[in-house]
Amino acid sequence: MIRFFLKTLSFIAFAIALMFIVIDATRSIGVSSIVFTPFGESLELVIPTLLETFRDWLAGAAPEFVSDPLLVSLFALPTFAVFAVLALLLYALGRKPPEKGLKRRPR
């Protein structure tokens, strides 16, 4: 059941990554240069109050090296890349482990 849930979340994350690739490609064609939507900008459009609350909480709870440069670099990444990596991680977590007892004998 957990594998199915992880694979479903992986599929949704991959679909979001593809959606942002298409959006970025369309914007790039429109302005005649490569344009990527930053992850922070996408989050700010979807959940602005939660993002600001998260930044405030992280500034108080986490060390300085996590809250400032690490978070800024994460929010600067392209949105499609963040969701593609998330999809790969969720798929890897939901993958069925190989069976150990079924080894082939050499002929």
What is the full DSSP assignment across the chain? -HHHHHHHHHHHHHHHHHHHHHHHHHHHHHHTS----BHHHHHHHH-HHHHHHHHHHHHHHS-HHIIIIIHHHHHHSBHHHHHHHHHHHHHHHHSPPPPSS-PPPP-
* Domain extent for 62: 39-77
Would you state the pLDDT for residue 73? 87
φ and ψ at residue 38, rounded to 5 degrees = -65, 145
Which two structure tokens, joined as six digits, stand for 107?
A: 């002929």
Q: Within a domain: residue 90?
A: yes
| Cβ count near 40 (within 10 Å) | 17
Q: Within a domain: residue 104?
A: no
Q: Within a domain: residue 33?
A: no
Q: Are residues 44 and 73 in the same domain?
A: yes
Q: Are residues 62 and 88 in the same domain?
A: no
Q: Within a domain: residue 63?
A: yes
Q: Within a domain: residue 52?
A: yes
Q: How many domains does the chain have?
A: 2
pLDDT at 29 over 90: yes
Would you state the pLDDT for residue 79? 95
Q: Within a domain: residue 88?
A: yes
pTM of the model: 0.80
Name, of 12-21, 69-78, 93-102, the range with top average pLDDT.
12-21
